[in-house]
């Protein structure tokens, strides 16, 4: 079963062109929940974490869940390191679950838009992913899933504090709403620092591709709520939605400005990156991310017509270290990965 989820770079949900998908890559809702009578995973014994898994597994036969999607359960103990790394690169599990989890598991829908982590930092983390700017749609589905689990599990809940979580920053609603957004024009027009500063002042956090502690490479930024206590779920979603809507408009305006004021320079940059990606023999991950960002911008602005944005979405995952090694069927040295990465990009460009 793991092969089904680790052999393909692009999850089915990513193949859809959601609203504003030229700028917003994906929308995600993650809900953290814990069971009342059990210690948090980091303090639980093996027996306790097994019991948590059994209680959650029992809910999977619920008619409401089966109507939403057929779900597969994968135990982390049954996966090798490369398979776990690929799941992290596809945002289906967290690095925390991959690296340190007793009796950890992930429950996935066939199209991989639903990912439910068990015995990670919390007993239960319900995640929903949608293509483009669909944060409200993602919330509706995540809320539906949460209601089903809550109807059959005794959640750790306090009337004053809300849902109790392992990390104090998640206490309250337990919800993290985020969007992955591509902002190359704001970077090129040197407006990005002002925009990011304004974002942090309205209770939102800005991170890189893999969340907390990761670098924003390839002009990709993850924008999410910081506050989980003192606001309702709807207020959190509405705040994120309105801010991201403004960022989208700023990025669109910056793209228009670039085309009006620097069309030749921009076309030169885009085509140089396309040429290098088409012919390079060695390519490290940072340079690949930046040049793929240039090409993605060129596709969105009609400068490059021979490629589709879907190819770029695939390469975002295919060029990551775990997928490169999974595809090769063996562990690779950093230089071997750089050679494979360049080869994969060349081949994918030629197939388009």
Which residues sit in the known binding site?
26-30, 91, 125, 176-180, 207-212
Of the candidates 159, 161, 183, the one whose C-alpha atom is nearest the C-alpha of residue 170 is 161
SS3 state of residue 101:
coil
The distance of Cα 34 from the centroid of its chain, to the nearest Å, equals 22
Token code pair at residue 284: 């490290």
Provide the annotated binding site for ATP. Answer: 26-30, 91, 125, 176-180, 207-212
For residues 79 and 73, the answer to whether their CB atoms sit within 8 Å is: no
Measured CA to CA, the distance from residue 149 to residue 217 in angstroms comes to 36
Q: Identify whether the C-beta of residue 55 lies closer than 8 Å to the C-beta of residue 144.
A: no
CB atoms within 10 A of CB 67: 8
Q: Return all residues near 321 (Cβ < 8 A) that are at least 6 apart.
A: 85, 89, 285, 332, 337
> For 231-239, which contacts have Cβ atoms below 8 Å and span 24 or more sequence positions?
231/172, 231/173, 232/173, 233/139, 233/143, 233/173, 233/175, 236/173, 236/175, 236/177, 237/135, 237/136, 237/139, 237/177, 239/202, 239/203, 239/204
């Amino acid at each position: 079963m793991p092969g089904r989820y680790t052999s393909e770079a692009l999850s089915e949900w990513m193949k859809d062109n959601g609203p504003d998908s030229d700028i917003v890559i994906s929308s995600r809702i993650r809900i953290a929940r814990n069971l009342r009578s059990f210690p948090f995973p980091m303090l639980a014994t093996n027996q306790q974490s097994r019991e948590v898994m059994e209680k959650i597994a029992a809910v999977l036969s619920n008619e409401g869940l089966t109507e939403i999607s057929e779900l597969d359960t994968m135990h982390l103990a049954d996966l090798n390191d490369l398979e776990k790394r690929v799941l992290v690169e596809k945002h289906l599990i967290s690095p925390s679950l991959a690296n340190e989890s007793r009796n950890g598991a992930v429950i996935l829908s066939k199209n991989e838009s639903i990912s439910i982590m068990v015995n990670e930092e919390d007993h239960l983390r319900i995640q929903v992913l949608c293509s483009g700017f669909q944060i409200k749609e993602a919330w509706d589905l995540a809320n539906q899933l949460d209601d089903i689990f809550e109807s059959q599990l005794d959640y750790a809940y306090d009337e004053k504090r809300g849902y109790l979580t392992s990390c104090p920053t998640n206490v309250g609603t337990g919800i993290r709403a985020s969007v992955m957004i591509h902002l190359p024009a704001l970077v090129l027009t040197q407006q990005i620092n002002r925009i990011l500063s304004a974002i942090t002042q309205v209770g939102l956090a800005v991170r890189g591709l893999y969340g907390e502690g990761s670098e924003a490479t390839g002009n990709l930024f993850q924008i999410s709520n910081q506050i989980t206590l003192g606001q309702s779920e709807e207020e959190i979603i509405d705040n994120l939605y309105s801010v991201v809507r403004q960022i989208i408009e700023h990025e669109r305006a910056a793209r228009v400005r670039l085309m009006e004021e620097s069309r030749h320079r921009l076309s030169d940059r885009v085509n140089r990156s396309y040429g290098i990606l088409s012919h390079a023999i060695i390519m490290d991950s940072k340079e690949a991310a930046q040049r793929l960002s240039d090409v993605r911008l060129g596709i969105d602005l009609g400068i490059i017509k021979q490629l589709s944005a879907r190819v770029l979405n695939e390469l975002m995952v295919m060029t990551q270290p775990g997928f490169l090694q999974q595809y090769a069927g063996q562990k690779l040295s950093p230089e071997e990965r750089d050679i494979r990465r360049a080869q994969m990009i060349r081949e994918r460009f030629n197939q388009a």
